Chains A and B, each alone.
Chain A
Amino acid sequence: MEPVLEIRNLNVDYGLGDRAVHAVRDVNLTLHRGEVLGLAGESGSGKSTLAYGLTRLLAPPGVISGGEVIYHPEQGDPYDVLGLSDNALRAFRWAETAIVFQGAMNSLNPVHKISTQLTDVLKAHDPKMSDHSRKARAREMLKLVGISPDRMDAYPHQLSGGMRQRVMIGMALILQPQVVIMDEPTTALDVVMQRQILGQLIELRERLGFSVVFITHDLSLLVEFSNRIAIMYGGRIVEEAPAATIYRDALHPYSRGLLSSFPALRGARRELTGIPGSPPDLAGMPSGCSFHPRCPKAFEPCPTHIPVLGRPGTPDGAARSVACWLHPTEQPVG
């Protein structure tokens, strides 16, 4: 499959020099055209930092201390997002990569009608567009996300949480970006609404062909509707594989821990174990594999050597990668 976004050795720090906290370390990740890539991990594992880092939206003291984010536009040559000038970056945002924020329900400005907020995006990126066609586009977008276009003149407080979320998704798609980053977009919604919205998102993706980076701590959600899942721990990607593979046969003990912390719908009942301990302090990472203090399978190399993310020596090893000394690798990723 054709890549649309390639993250190479991305490093994101908070702070500078010796006091810097390395929140994202050497992340290699490829997003393919039209795929849903799930990014899962505990709170504080660096998921959101990764998303904001690659879009360069981190507030100070966040800095990108290394790496490349190669974007492949539909036509034209690929380029590095981290090397863009400010104006180019501003033009790149939303038109190529849109983002739906954590708590997107509150991302709408309460004093403006949603029509104003939808057309604002168009005004900023395509000033030549006529007012009429802007309105028409906004109406079309609302219809697409399942909101009656006569709600155009509603204020955010007149909409329910689910509707506001849909408006945000519609707004993210209004310029037909190639990549949509969603940072826990459904956390504040009830499960019924979550399902509806995600179903709609998948449907839209099939129709419009964008790729999604979906960040969540709810692995069960990802297993159901993403193509591939990357698991993050302590700022690194520890495992990355097709969703079904992760679900059936996770290699990293941490992924297994995450998977055994929610019940299966079918099959024999089993005890939910979860993962003992708490996530590491990013400012004082354990040496070696950062998961080793909590890992039930830790052995000699774990406390001293950092495992490389690479293809494991399993039969399906070509389609997945894992960073664990239980599965040493000959072919590192990136």
Chain B
Amino acid sequence: MTTIPTSSTAQVIPGQGAMAQPESAKPAKAKRRRFLFLRNAKAVIGLVILGLYVLFAIIGPWVTPYDPDARSNDLIQAPSADHWFGTTHLGQDVFSQVLDGTRSVVFVGFLAGTIATVLSVIIGITAGYLGGRTDDTLSALSNVFLVIPAIPLMIIITSILENASNLLIALVIGLTSWSWNARVLRAQTLSLRRRDYIEASRATGEKTWRIVGFELLPNLTAVIASGFIGTVIFAVLSLITLAFIGIVSNAGWNWGTILFWAQGQQALAQGAWWWFVPAGLAIAFLGTALSLINFAIDEFVSPRLRSMGKTKLKTASGGTVRMRIGFTPVLDNSAAPHTHAKPIPINTGGATPVIRETAGS
């Protein structure tokens, strides 16, 4: 038990006893736990990996050891101290290409994810909350976008425009991939807007924008976040797909371009694994990092999924138990009175307690 300064009996005068919940009985307010999100291992790992990607996206093109386009005489070299990830059929440094390509991948992924998320939030929540004709119109719109195939559309657009920039690709992906999230958000909003706390805020006269912004949105955080993460992954894969099939090969390096050249030059048949493995792993790690962050957000937003950061507990007998819903862990299975509640014998001087006092009501 925490030591609390005891209040003197004088404070507890009958009648005033009501208000005498003495201030001194309140313990020092427990230190607020900051960065609670970062106590989650998934969040930490995900954010660290993602942070590295963002870092290389920013500095990558400046710190490449070689010009990714520069040819050399080291043709199809295995990884070495000079060329960490080996070289291509033209003697280009694969490491430099991967580093240089990070920027466009991260840029397209996050820009497209942001555009799609903003659109889906606006359209989905509006449709779900307002209902009626607005809902019909917006639902029809998202249904149309749901069936537009993004990648063929992008193939057409990029083949019309000679120099399709990363920005344009991000815009196309973002503008075509919002509809699924909008539908999910609309469904969730439909369910939330009938909840009692939304009704209550309507009854207290809150403005619609405030209900949407302060009552609804926070409850949709997990859905929005997972939608964003999902769209980023989708956008990254779309960009790489486009580059891999050779559509945007002139928009600078990205991992898909590396894979395009590796495929074209039969890297696998030549045994040049270093040509495609780094780019493939880069994609896989980025996806892993984003998924981990997604799980962490889910757990953070819904405390029921959270396990206080600690799932394994030590029992008194030295074993370990897990925290699990439905099977409350037993830390100590002895019937001995607990230390924090041990009664103290009365004979410590002072007045002897009255033996019995008749009920005076």
Q: Which residues of A contact B (CB under 8 A)?
A: 8-9, 11, 15-16, 18-19, 22, 25-26, 52-53, 56-68, 80, 82-83, 86, 89, 236, 249-250, 256, 260, 270, 273, 276-278, 280-281, 283-288, 292-308, 312-314, 325-328, 332, 334
List 23 contacting pairs A-B, 8 Å CB cutoff, sorted by A.
A8-B335, A9-B336, A56-B326, A57-B326, A65-B332, A68-B335, A249-B359, A250-B359, A256-B361, A277-B18, A284-B4, A285-B4, A285-B25, A287-B6, A293-B25, A294-B18, A299-B351, A300-B351, A302-B9, A306-B341, A306-B344, A314-B356, A326-B357
- Partner among B329, B344, B355 whose Cβ is within 8 Å of the Cβ of A305: B344
- The smallest C-beta distance from B46 to any residue of chain A, in angstroms, reads 22
* Most chain B beta-carbon contacts within 10 A, residue among A83, A236, A286: A286
Cα–Cα, bound, A302→B7 (Å)? 10
Cα–Cα, bound, A302→B149 (Å)? 75
On whether the beta carbons of A293 and B20 are closer than 8 Å, the reply is yes
Nearest 3 Cβ contacts at the A-B interface: A276-B18, A8-B335, A284-B27
Chain A residues contacting B17 (CB-CB under 8 Å) are 276-277, 293-296, 298
Chain B residues contacting A305 (CB-CB under 8 Å) are 343-346, 348
Chain B residues contacting A308 (CB-CB under 8 Å) are 343
- The smallest C-beta distance from A205 to any residue of chain B, in angstroms, reads 27
B340 nearest in chain A by CB position? A22
On whether the beta carbons of A301 and B356 are closer than 8 Å, the reply is no
Cα–Cα, bound, A56→B326 (Å)? 7
On whether the beta carbons of B14 and A57 are closer than 8 Å, the reply is no
* Most chain A beta-carbon contacts within 10 A, residue among B328, B345, B351: B328
Is B147's CB within 8 Å of the partner chain A?
no
On whether the beta carbons of A26 and B9 are closer than 8 Å, the reply is no
* Dominant secondary structure of chain A at its interface with chain B: loop
On whether the beta carbons of B25 and A286 are closer than 8 Å, the reply is yes
B358 nearest in chain A by CB position? A249
On whether the beta carbons of A293 and B338 are closer than 8 Å, the reply is no
On whether the beta carbons of B337 and A26 are closer than 8 Å, the reply is yes
- The smallest C-beta distance from B110 to any residue of chain A, in angstroms, reads 34
Is B161's CB within 8 Å of the partner chain A?
no
- Partner among B4, B336, B340 whose Cβ is within 8 Å of the Cβ of A286: B4
Cα–Cα, bound, A128→B30 (Å)? 54
| Interface pick from B62-70, B87-95, B264-272, B302-310 | B302-310
Chain B residues contacting A292 (CB-CB under 8 Å) are 12
B353 nearest in chain A by CB position? A325
Cα–Cα, bound, A284→B7 (Å)? 14
Chain B residues contacting A64 (CB-CB under 8 Å) are 328-332
Interface bits B277-292 vs A (CB < 8 Å: 1, else 0):
0000000000000000
